[in-house]
């Protein structure tokens, strides 16, 4: 097995606000991404997916939070880099795309200038070369008539086009890692599928590793090699995609699977969402945070905190892991 490209170890992000309890948005998350691999980071809203990705990119606000752990990227701990060193890497070694394509583009600058800006930033090329490169990138992400689009402004593009333009910007300098934070949530269903297919093609063609952040296991099913399931800022289950879908072991994962609409489910049949919400969470320190919503919860779940332990043969190198006292047995798997 190849060495990991990105290796996140015991990442913790704590928000400290005056007059409020410190809030552990990310509470000791570890995972690996190998070159060219696509890894999913899955969980409900508020479980810390975006904060994890911003911490990796060094984009968290300068004040009001503390970050600890390690983010090893090709042997360097990104958390130890200066602002300037990190700026050199962003856009060149690591790229990121966000949820809302319209608000992620500068409304008063043309698409061409915005794409060329990245090229000029990281490569010593002239403006015209950068612009030509931008045109080639727009072409590559499937924007028709790229030469005309270069001169257009974000509001003139459709939602799907805008996300394509953002992908072009993120991939313009051929980063080895791309983080996509819910890249399709703000788009129409049909456009969602197109964008996912495009991302899949682009990363496999250029051998870029992809961290796919989503709350939608359906997205994971079509794209990811490994899947990490987050709950309340902690990893609760990790497995190879196939194993995770075939035999979810954590009750939370099982619940997420049960809430995906299925082709063979009868029309109008209610989905089976997980009851309750993250606001019911217990503190991880002395219990299982998921216990109030967990169908398998037992007294020990309230009395002590489950550890992350190796589980199954899963993960690309047998690193499947699980944080639960009472894993789901195959007979209970949501179907």
Partner 1 sequence: MNLMSSKKERIDSLAASVAEVEVAEAGTVKDTGGESLIAGAWRRLRRNPIFLIGLTLTALFVLLAIISPWLAPWDPAAQPLIDKVERQSNPVPGPEPGHPLGGDNRGRDLLSRVLIGSQQTLVVGVVATLIGLSGGLVLGTVAGAFGGWADALVMRVVDVMLSIPGLLLAFSLAALAARPSQWTVIIAIAIVQIPIFARLLRGSMLAQRHSDHVLAARALGVRPSLIVMRHMLPNSMGPVIVQSTLVVATSIIDAAALSFLGLGNPDDRRPEWGQMLGASQQYLNEHPHLAFWPAGCIIVVALGFTLMGESLREALDPKTRR
Where do contacts with ligand SF4 occur on this chain (CB under 6 A)? 251, 288, 290-291, 294, 296-297, 301, 306, 324-326
Is the distance from CB of 314 to CB of 227 less than 8 angstroms? no
Q: How far is the CB of 241 from Mg ion (least distance, A)?
A: 21
DSSP class of 250:
S
List residues binding ligand ATP (CB under 6 A): 15, 23, 25, 43, 45-51, 61, 215
What residue ranges in 152-225 does DSSP mark as E strands?
177-181, 209-214
Instruction: Indicate the residue among 59 and 271 with the shorter CB distance to ligand ATP.
Output: 59
Compute how many other C-beta atoms are within 10 angstroms of the C-beta atom of residue 97.
22
CB-closest chain residue to ligand ATP: 50
Q: How far is the CB of 158 from partner 1 (least distance, A)?
A: 5
The DSSP secondary structure of 7-27, one letter per residue, reads EEEEEEEEE--TTS--EEEEE
Q: How far is the CB of 57 from ligand ATP (least distance, A)?
A: 13
Tokens for 146, please give them.
């790229």
DSSP class of 174:
-
Alpha-carbon distance 17 to 21, whole Å? 7
List residues binding Mg ion (CB under 5 A): 50
CB-count burial class (<10 Å; 0-12, 13-18, 19+) for 239: buried
Vertex 85: Cα angle to 82 and 90 (nearest 5): 120
Instruction: Indicate the residue among 98 and 290 with the shorter CB distance to ligand SF4.
Output: 290
Q: Mask of contacts with partner 1, 186-205, x by CB under 8 A?
A: xxx-xx--------------
Q: How far is the CB of 164 from ligand ATP (least distance, A)?
A: 22
Of residues 115 through 134, those in contact with partner 1 by CB under 8 A are 117-118, 121-122
Alpha-carbon distance 116 to 71, whole Å? 29
290 contact choice in ligand SF4, Mg ion, partner 1, none (CB below 5 to 8 Å, kind-dependent): ligand SF4
User: Judged by CB under 8 A, how many residues of this single chain contact partner 1?
Assistant: 40
CB-count burial class (<10 Å; 0-12, 13-18, 19+) for 155: exposed
Q: How far is the CB of 231 from ligand ATP (least distance, A)?
A: 10
Instruction: Indicate the residue among 203 and 324 with the shorter CB distance to ligand SF4.
Output: 324
Is the distance from CB of 238 to CB of 228 less than 8 angstroms? yes
Helix boundaries (H) for 49-188: 49-57, 83-89, 101-104, 111-122, 127-140, 146-150, 159-171
Of residues 159 through 178, those in contact with partner 1 by CB under 8 A are 159-161, 166, 169-170
Q: Which of 107, 144, 268, 330 binds partner 1 (CB under 8 A)?
A: 107
CA neighbor of 149 nearest in space, from 230, 23, 183, 137: 137
Q: Which of 42, 47, 57, 199 binds partner 1 (CB under 8 A)?
A: 57
Q: How far is the CB of 53 from ligand ATP (least distance, A)?
A: 8
118 contact choice in partner 1, ligand SF4, ligand ATP, none (CB below 5 to 8 Å, kind-dependent): partner 1
Q: Which of 34, 49, 90, 176 binds partner 1 (CB under 8 A)?
A: 90
Binding site for partner 1 (CB under 8 A): 57, 59, 87-92, 95-96, 98, 100, 102-109, 117-118, 121-122, 153, 155-161, 166, 169-170, 186-188, 190-191
């Amino acid at each position: 097995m190849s060495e990991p490209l990105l290796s996140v170890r015991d990442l913790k992000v704590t928000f400290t606000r005056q007059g409020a309890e410190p809030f552990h948005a990310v509470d000791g998350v570890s995972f690996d991404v190998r070159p060219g691999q696509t890894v999913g980071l899955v969980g409900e809203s508020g479980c810390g997916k975006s904060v994890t990705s911003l911490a990796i990119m060094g984009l968290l606000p300068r004040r009001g939070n503390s970050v600890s752990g390690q983010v090893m990227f090709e042997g360097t701990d990104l958390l130890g880099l200066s602002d300037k060193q990190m700026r050199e890497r962003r856009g060149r070694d690591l790229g990121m795309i966000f949820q809302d394509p319209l608000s992620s583009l500068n409304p008063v600058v043309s698409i061409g200038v915005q794409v060329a800006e990245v090229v000029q930033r990281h490569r010593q090329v002239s403006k015209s070369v950068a612009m030509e490169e931008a045109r080639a990138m727009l072409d590559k992400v499937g924007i028709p008539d790229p030469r005309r689009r270069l001169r257009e402004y974000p509001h003139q593009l459709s939602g799907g086009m805008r996300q394509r333009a953002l992908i072009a910007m993120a991939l313009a300098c051929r980063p080895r890692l791309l983080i996509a934070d819910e890249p399709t949530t703000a788009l129409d269903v049909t456009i969602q599928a197109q964008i996912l297919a495009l991302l899949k093609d682009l990363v496999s063609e250029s051998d870029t590793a992809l961290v796919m952040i989503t709350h939608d296991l359906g997205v994971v099913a079509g794209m990811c090699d490994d899947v990490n399931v987050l709950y309340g800022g902690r990893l609760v289950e990790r497995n190879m995609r196939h194993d995770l879908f075939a035999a979810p072991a954590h009750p939370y994962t099982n619940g997420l699977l049960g809430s995906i609409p299925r082709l063979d489910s009868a029309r109008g049949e209610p989905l089976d969402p997980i009851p309750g919400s993250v606001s019911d969470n217990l503190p991880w320190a002395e219990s299982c945070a998921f216990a109030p919503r967990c169908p398998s919860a037992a007294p020990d779940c309230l009395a002590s905190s489950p550890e992350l332990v190796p589980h199954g043969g899963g993960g690309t190198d047998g690193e499947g892991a699980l944080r639960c006292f009472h894993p789901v047995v195959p007979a209970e798997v949501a179907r």
